[in-house]
């Protein structure tokens, strides 16, 4: 296709979209929400060609990822480069944190892990590593299915042998030192920004450094994640994680630890609730049966050696035994010791086993009572015959 035919096609294709809303306008870029003739929504970006912006979108056309927007078309019209891309719904990380405050540790790590996957696919691109160079809270969309990395206006490929980038861009609070011209940006530049993004998600504030270049830490960042952020944001790229895969592996191990601790905390709360319920039920039942037993004994002649009295006593004793046995075991020092040492599922097994033992003992007591009644009945029958 020659230049004229390409231009005619581009103009005709561009005119097939209708603007629904203007999302952003800067001297170098315009972003619009548009729909086609079938009412399908897309995002259209237009870049002034002399700025050098937007070339990263052409590199993305070959990458299909659930963590990146799909690029449908890239074309040029006169002095503009145009991109038609997937429309994604969801707040940005900055919007979410601004409205709801800092995120929980597990949520922040899940978002960063998904972004690591997005960045890893960029860095493993067929034509060479694609460096995003502008990872910040405003360029992360939190969609219903996952976090998405957006805005590739200043993305570039790493060029072996170059000392510095041709252009130096990036959001100031998240830009690595090499983006200011100290050296060429590479994969570790994005790792630097990912570390500072985690800082933001956990605190709700853009990262700040003191006069010596050290990050100002916030009490909401746990020590384990401070070490991860610190490694990501070393001023010397050689001291950072060597790859996003290495960062992702460290995050995965940390997430497993946090999830386990969260489950243990929930289990302890559940165990405490069950313990309180058990004490209430056991005590109410025990005192009710105790009062009933005492009332029964007081309302019949006290003949401790008669078979009727012994049978009745064994029957009521069996009911008391059903409650007293597990209650006694669980309230002893041994019961407390075992409850503190064992996980909840083992403590549940302990309670069940104690209750089963009390049922067995209760059964023995009832069998004894029935045996006494049977003997009494047989003796009565024999007395009647005689």
Domain edges within the chain: 3-86, 93-242, 268-385
For the entire predicted model, the pTM comes to: 0.65
Superfamily name with CATH number, domain 93-242: Transferase(Phosphotransferase) domain 1 (1.10.510.10)
What's the rounded Cα separation, in Å, for the pair 45 and 90? 18
Distance CA 372, CA 386 (A): 21
The single residue listed with the structure tokens 């700040």 is: 208
**Do 3-86 and 93-242 come out as alike in CATH topology?**
no
345 has which bridge partners?
none
* Tokens matching residue 370: 């029935």
Greatest pairwise CA separation for the chain in angstroms: 129
| Whole-angstrom distance, CA of residue 250 vs CA of residue 236 | 20
Please say whether the beta carbons of 82 and 14 come within 8 A: yes
Q: Which residues contact 2 (CB under 8 A, 6 or more apart)?
A: none
Per-residue pLDDT of the chain (386 residues; tens, 9 = 90+): 578 888 999 999 999 999 999 999 988 899 999 999 999 999 999 998 887 788 888 888 889 899 999 999 999 998 899 999 999 999 999 999 999 999 999 999 999 999 999 999 999 988 788 999 999 999 999 999 999 999 998 886 655 544 444 454 668 899 999 888 777 889 999 999 999 999 999 999 999 888 888 899 999 999 989 999 999 999 999 999 999 999 999 998 888 765 545 555 565 666 666 666 766 766 666 666 566 655 655 565 545 445 565 566 665 666 565 555 555 555 544 444 444 444 545 555 556 666 666 666 656 655 665 565 555 555 555 555 55
Q: How crowded is residue 344: how many other Cβ atoms within 10 Å of its Cβ?
A: 18
User: For the structural domain made of 3-86, what CATH number should be given?
Assistant: 3.30.200.20
Helix residue ranges per DSSP H, the chain: 3-14, 55-60, 93-100, 105-123, 187-203, 223-232, 244-298, 307-331, 333-341, 344-385
Contact 121, 68 (CB under 8 A): yes
């Amino acid at each position: 296709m020659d230049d004229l035919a390409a231009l005619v096609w581009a103009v005709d294709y561009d005119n097939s979209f209708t603007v629904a809303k203007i999302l952003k306008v800067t001297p170098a870029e315009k972003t619009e929400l548009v729909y086609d003739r079938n009412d399908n929504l897309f995002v259209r970006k237009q870049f002034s060609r002399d700025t050098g912006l937007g070339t990263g979108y052409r590199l993305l056309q070959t990458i299909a990822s659930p963590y990146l927007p799909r690029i449908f078309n890239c074309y040029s019209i006169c002095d503009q480069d145009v991109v038609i891309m997937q429309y994604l719904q969801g707040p940005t990380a900055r919007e979410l944190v601004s409205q709801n405050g800092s995120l929980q540790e597990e949520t922040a790590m899940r978002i960063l892990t998904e972004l690591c996957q997005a960045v890893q696919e960029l860095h493993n691109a067929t034509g060479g590593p694609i460096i995003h160079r502008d990872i910040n809270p405003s360029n992360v969309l939190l969609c219903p299915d996952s976090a998405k990395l957006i805005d590739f206006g200043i993305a570039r490929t790493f060029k072996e042998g170059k000392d510095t980038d041709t252009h130096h861009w990036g959001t100031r609070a998240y830009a690595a030192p090499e983006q200011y011209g100290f050296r060429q940006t590479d994969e570790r530049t994005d790792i630097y920004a990912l570390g500072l993004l985690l800082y933001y998600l956990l605190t709700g504030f853009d990262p700040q450094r003191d006069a010596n270049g050290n990050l100002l830490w916030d009490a909401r960042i746990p020590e384990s994640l401070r070490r991860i952020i610190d490694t990501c944001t070393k001023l010397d790229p050689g001291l950072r994680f060597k790859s996003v895969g290495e960062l992702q592996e460290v995050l995965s191990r940390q997430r497993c630890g946090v999830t386990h601790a969260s489950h243990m905390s929930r289990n302890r709360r559940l165990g405490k609730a069950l313990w309180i319920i058990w004490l209430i039920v056991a005590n109410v039942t025990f005192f009710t049966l105790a009062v009933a037993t005492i009332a029964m004994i007081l309302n019949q002649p006290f003949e401790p050696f008669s078979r009727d009295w012994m049978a009745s006593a064994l029957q009521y004793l069996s009911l008391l035994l059903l409650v007293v046995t597990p209650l006694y075991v669980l309230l002893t020092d041994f019961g407390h010791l075992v409850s503190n040492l064992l996980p909840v599922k083992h403590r549940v097994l302990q309670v069940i086993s104690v209750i089963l033992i009390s049922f067995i003992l209760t059964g023995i007591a009832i069998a004894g009572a029935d045996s006494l009644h049977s003997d009494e009945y047989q003796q009565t029958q024999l007395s009647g015959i005689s």
